[in-house]
Structure 1
Amino acid sequence: MASSNYSLKVHRELLDPNFESYRLSLDAIPTYNIELDAAVEEVKLKDTQYTLEHMRAFGMYNYLHLDPWYEDSVLFVDCKGRVLSLTVTLDTALGKPREVYCIAAEPGRREDRLCPSLSLTSATWAALSDGSSRLYLLRTGKRGDGSHVKWELLFSEDTGEPFTILHSVSHVQAGVHAMEVLLLRIQKDPQETKGSGFSVSLEWVTVANTAGHGQEKNYEVRKRRVLSGKSVPHYAAVEPQGKGLMVASEKPFVFTHVDGRPVEQPQPGTVEVEKTDPIYFWQQTAEDVTLWVRMPEGVTKEDVQFKATADNLSVGVRGFAPLLEGQLHASVDPEASVWIIMNDKSLEVTLQKRSEGPMWPELVMGDRRGEFVMSDEQAALIHERLTHLTSEDLNANPDGDKPPCNSQELEDCDGFPEDSSSLTHFDEESLRPTQVVNLGSHQYLFTVDVDPSEMPCLCLRHDVDALVWQPRPNQPGDMWEHIATFNALGYVQASKRDKKFATCAPNFSYASLCECLRRVFIYRQPSPVETVLFNRKQGRQVGQVAKQQVASLDSDKPILGFRATNERLFILTSANLFVLKVNND
């Protein structure tokens, strides 16, 4: 299956071009503090883990896990290997986090040990890593009912090398329960001689119940797939039914192994692609469009089948399928459309545009078999307009009061990474990318679980705003849907030099950022104001105001975990779990 380029479609009705700014609110945020019985162990990177990819993967790990199936429920692992759970129902009566599982102590601690990682696979299952090399799949039961039943281990495997769990899903197909788990590793690569000497590996493991009906459950690995790349992915998640995978990263990933067997990679230069000549050429002016369609030699006017309506065009030869047929990019005047046979082998067609001025990016929508030919007059005009961009004069702008843009005058948060990230959808059967989005300057901001039955959403910067995208793998034509916008958050977050984590409420009522120490910033969506306010510059009444709030934690410990629900913010340090009551709804 060949990959196709895809563009993210922004929903204009979700944008606010009139958004002005966030107003600082001094309203106090109720903050509650839970002192932990045992510290959360922050795993420090070793001297051998010196690359930027190690820092991105393990140094910025979020130790706190939000349960998307049960509201206001969070989990984390402490230094004793205990998986602790806290469900908040009443802020003023917070209990201690309760132990739901304990990782067995290993005989000797590995030097390259990572932090334990947890992924809540479904409402009743979870995947757990001990930070070394062992993967656990656990049946949790219903976690949010307050019973805190101990989790049951149903699968355990030593994978040989340390990893963290990025994502996991649970599904049932043909009556067989299976779990898809995505593991991240950074490994020594002997073939990497120019760079850091490390490569990034994603292992996609499928574990299924092999026991028959009525027998005791027996989970075994059914399939392993390994992807390799050169950068830690910003986003990586498996589809709900395990039929595909989505990865957002600066460098591309490719499947290299399936069940231990190498995957054949297409070698550049070994496959010759036949180049097909265009079947038509076309030009345009502000008033009309002219196209030339190849016809069989010796064709007569009686053989030509031509039909033009206001929005559609069909050109062909009698007895054959139409050579060119489809919806035009814009409307034309069918009464003014004419055609003529040229040199007995081509048909020249002239279409009169209904709207003069706008230039068409394509002739027939979705048809890529033609070639646009620029006229001499258009080429000369464009050359004249762009001459100043190639001038030897440093300031080629003739207007003295409009000097050219100086990059030194830009703020740091206006810059974008040099590497161009991409968002790729891989098909599980072919192991090939089916759709690729070039993210370009759309900086990745954070990932958030909005609907546990869907894939996690990713938030990207678009201009100054932050846009939330929901993957829809069952809709190939609209695979990423724009579902929410946080005004100016893309610009605001880029100005926070000490920013560590970012997230938002699942209902998008607010977004939040935290620094490495103490400070938390909350950015609320615009809401109606009770009093009458006027914009002094524009002289108009202001009906809505977006508020910014700042909270400072009573702790000098680094922030290790940061999660948001619709009502609360949960912040984890090595010694404390803070609960901030953000909304009272």
Structure 2
Amino acid sequence: MSIFTSVIKPNRNLLNPKFEGYRLNIFDDEKHLLRVPLPEPGINIPKVPVNANLSYNEMHSLVHYNHLFAGFTADIGNALYFDSELQIILVEYDLIKDSIIMHPLIKLPKSTTISGSVSSSCYPSLRALSATLLLASNGLGNIYLLKISRNVESQVVTAEIIKNINFYGYSEVGDDAAIKKTVITPCVLLDGKIIDEGESAQIYFIVYNVLVSKYSSSSSLSTSSQKTSKKLFDVTLLQMSLDASSSGAEVKHVLRGPDIPLYCALDMKGEGYIIGCTGEYSVLSLNNANISTSEKEQEILEEKQCDENIKKEEETKDESSPPYLWTQTDSDVSINFQLPPGTPKTAVHCSFSKTHLSLTIKLPGNSSESSSSEPSSTSKSPSIPCYAFTNLHDEIDPSASLWTIESKIGLLTLYLEKQNRGTRWMHVFKHDDGVLETLDPNEIAEFRERLEKFTSSSTDGQPFASTLHHPIGHEIEESIDYEGRYVKFFWIEKQGNITAKFAGGSHEFLCPQFECFGRKDIESSINRFPSVCLKYDVDGLVYEFQHSSGFPPITVTHVSTFDAFGFVQASKREKRHLFHDPLNRFIMVLERTHRAFIYWHIEDQTKRDFGKQTIVDIIGESKDEDVLGVQMVADSVILVLLTKTIVVIKLS
């Protein structure tokens, strides 16, 4: 089957090169802000542990996870969240009375059967299918179909479980069994819809789960076979009947890829769905015992090469101390290693090729064997880096790359000049070693200050190796951001055929639109597929999707522009959530701590030299709360979920 391939292109008539900036618009907190305490026990989102073995994609998903879910709005706007006891709470906002009512619906059971080969770091998720039906996952592999009931006299709202299915994982790369019917796999709901298929209604829903593929690889630098692992992500389309007599769910197909989808939306007729991601997905074959993988994935598995010395270091080193700190710009990558104070320049042996790095340290008085990456026997000495012809994440210009060492403090810095400027490295080496990028330049400066402090005085007794911390040990929310995610969009038929691909080119993913279910006044004016805002140069461009039965199956059209938004959002280092209005009137940046920034779109071309910016202080006097989620529940009415409070922002 032929695949339609195209590149997303902006409409030049919708760009505004004369735009000069945003002017502040005063927001009246007393009139347009409502704060209501959450009922007990509230919400307690556990912190990510320092030694969590999570990939960049998993960490990004956890940090920016939206814990407030869109409800199916009728006369009263509503949204839903899970409290600390896995109880679903329905939040209703009455626009006329300007009041909030919260209804505890049901407490979901917790599963204890979790695969040891998959990540269990899945938050509970929920999709509103209709005004009375919810699809919910407890994050542990159990999916429930819930029916909402309302007592008209007492106005008590409850929910009951009418169906319960278990989600099972799929084989690891190299295993024989395609589906492990004995292992329940943690998963997250991406989308779900009720589809009318004649005699009976069906529920189509999409989940993703993390797969840890384990395999052996023979290194050319070592005679022994090494056991390594790689994080992959499965996206599964399932079908479940609404008929009470039927049980279970049918797997329609499974996609496997290198990252978590940035965007996923089912067609209202159930013909397929659109998925947005940074990498390529392959469709798995479930007709035989073995799951097929793409040639590209096999190539990655076969090319895996690790030095035996590095492997030993990973098995014995302190989990809280990564081997290096690194940061990047559009043109280069900087890597900082901690060496023993006084290490001379002659001890460093470093060379670059277009695709590889070689680095060994031979300290004076040590034999060649002692220059391996085995950590020192004393905790007060840093481990010595050793990378023997190691694959880099992307190509570099070796002639423009260099290294420097500050012997006094033992700071070794590598400067790698990117061959492909403007691309963003997800990690330093081709095979992710789990070291996250240090996005805050202050952290590098603090690292240098600690080195200078500890080398100038040895009286404090603090272990030298403890001065280099994993970014997760700090506020990880400030270390994971939105920039650099060049996106592609695919149309996937329900049979599992990929029939259309739209490359983003120089577009980077910023955010989707707020979802509004059941609001006739809003849905009549918007596309059924949620639109997306993509960064193009300095602007934020809104693109809509249209599906047709012809060829191509979908089109991607530039419909609106938020002037300079791509530039201004990059300065918000603590941003947690980004969404834009379904009618493209405004776009919101929600910080982790206490502020929301709203940037307004100006329709009148003659008045687009300046835009309007609104700043909302969400938390107010209370400074010990974090932002956990956000949803639009009515026209220009936004609900923000905090640790202890629900906040209503009325923008009209």
Verify: 1:228 aligned to 2:231, yes or no.
no
Q: Which moved more, 1:490-499 or 1:445-454?
A: 445-454
1:41 maps to which of 25, 40, 44: 44
Verify: 1:165 aligned to 2:233, yes or no.
no
Q: Match for residue 144 of structure 2?
A: 136
CA contact (8 A) 1:68 1:450 kept: no
TM-score of the aligned structures, taking structure 2 as reference length: 0.59
SS for the counterpart of 1:560 is strand
Alpha-carbon distance in structure 2 between the residues aligned to 1:192 and 1:459: 41
SS for the counterpart of 1:140 is strand
Measured against aligned partners, the alpha-carbon deviations of 1:474-510 in whole angstroms (never above 9, x if no partner) come to 2644522333322221221122121111112222221
Q: 1:528 to 1:436 in 2, by over 3 A?
A: closer
Verify: 1:508 aligned to 2:584, yes or no.
yes
2:58 maps to which of 54, 58, 61: 54
Alpha-carbon distance in structure 1 between the residues aligned to 2:106 and 2:2: 45
Alpha-carbon distance in structure 2 between the residues aligned to 1:145 and 1:89: 18
Q: 1:480 to 1:87 in 2, by over 3 A?
A: same
Higher share of residues assigned helix: 2
Q: 1:236 to 1:192 in 2, by over 3 A?
A: farther
SS for the counterpart of 2:635 is coil
Alpha-carbon distance in structure 2 between the residues aligned to 1:144 and 1:493: 45
Q: Any stretches of 5+ residues in structure 1 without a counterpart?
A: 269-391, 394-406, 530-540
SS for the counterpart of 1:494 is helix
Q: Is the radius of gyration larger for structure 1 or structure 2?
A: 1
Q: Alignment length, in residue pairs?
A: 428
Q: 1:581 to 1:229 in 2, by over 3 A?
A: same
SS for the counterpart of 2:507 is coil
CA contact (8 A) 2:103 2:158 kept: no
Q: Match for residue 232 of structure 2?
A: 199
Verify: 1:174 aligned to 2:198, yes or no.
yes
Q: Match for residue 115 of structure 1?
A: 123
Verify: 1:98 aligned to 2:103, yes or no.
yes
Identity %: 20
Q: 1:465 to 1:157 in 2, by over 3 A?
A: same
CA contact (8 A) 2:147 2:159 kept: yes
SS for the counterpart of 2:214 is coil
CA contact (8 A) 1:43 1:114 kept: no
Measured against aligned partners, the alpha-carbon deviations of 1:275-326 in whole angstroms (never above 9, x if no partner) come to xxxxxxxxxxxxxxxxxxxxxxxxxxxxxxxxxxxxxxxxxxxxxxxxxxxx
C-alpha deviation, 1:230, in angstroms: 1.0
CA contact (8 A) 2:560 2:584 kept: yes
SS for the counterpart of 1:521 is strand
C-alpha deviation, 1:572, in angstroms: 1.1
CA contact (8 A) 1:2 1:432 kept: no
1:503 counterpart letter in structure 2: F
Q: 1:61 to 1:267 in 2, by over 3 A?
A: closer
1:64 maps to which of 45, 62, 68: 68
C-alpha deviation, 1:259, in angstroms: 6.9
2:82 counterpart letter in structure 1: V
| Aligned pairs for 1:23-42 within 5 A | 23-29=23-29, 30-37=32-39, 38-42=41-45
CA contact (8 A) 2:104 2:157 kept: no
TM-score of the aligned structures, taking structure 1 as reference length: 0.65
Q: 1:147 to 1:161 in 2, by over 3 A?
A: same
2:611 maps to which of 542, 546, 551: 546
C-alpha deviation, 1:35, in angstroms: 0.7
CA contact (8 A) 1:154 1:218 kept: no
Q: Which moved more, 1:62-71 or 1:572-581?
A: 62-71
Verify: 1:576 aligned to 2:645, yes or no.
yes
Q: Match for residue 437 of structure 1?
A: 502
C-alpha deviation, 1:145, in angstroms: 13
1:421 maps to which of 474, 482, 487: 487
Q: 1:104 to 1:226 in 2, by over 3 A?
A: same
Q: 1:106 to 1:196 in 2, by over 3 A?
A: closer
Q: CA RMSD in A?
A: 3.8
| Aligned pairs for 1:231-270 within 5 A | 231-258=259-286, 262=290
CA contact (8 A) 1:504 1:510 kept: yes
Q: Match for residue 479 of structure 1?
A: 555
Q: 1:12 to 1:576 in 2, by over 3 A?
A: same
C-alpha deviation, 1:139, in angstroms: 3.0
2:238 counterpart letter in structure 1: V
C-alpha deviation, 1:183, in angstroms: 1.0
Alpha-carbon distance in structure 1 between the residues aligned to 2:232 and 2:185: 14
Alpha-carbon distance in structure 2 between the residues aligned to 1:49 and 1:441: 31
CA contact (8 A) 2:191 2:264 kept: yes
SS for the counterpart of 2:61 is helix
Q: Match for residue 512 of structure 2?
A: 447
Verify: 1:495 aligned to 2:498, yes or no.
no
Alpha-carbon distance in structure 2 between the residues aligned to 1:141 and 1:63: 23
Q: Any stretches of 5+ residues in structure 2 without a counterpart?
A: 168-183, 218-226, 297-398, 401-420, 423-438, 441-480, 518-522
Alpha-carbon distance in structure 1 between the residues aligned to 2:246 and 2:159: 17
Q: Match for residue 212 of structure 2?
A: 188
C-alpha deviation, 1:33, in angstroms: 1.0
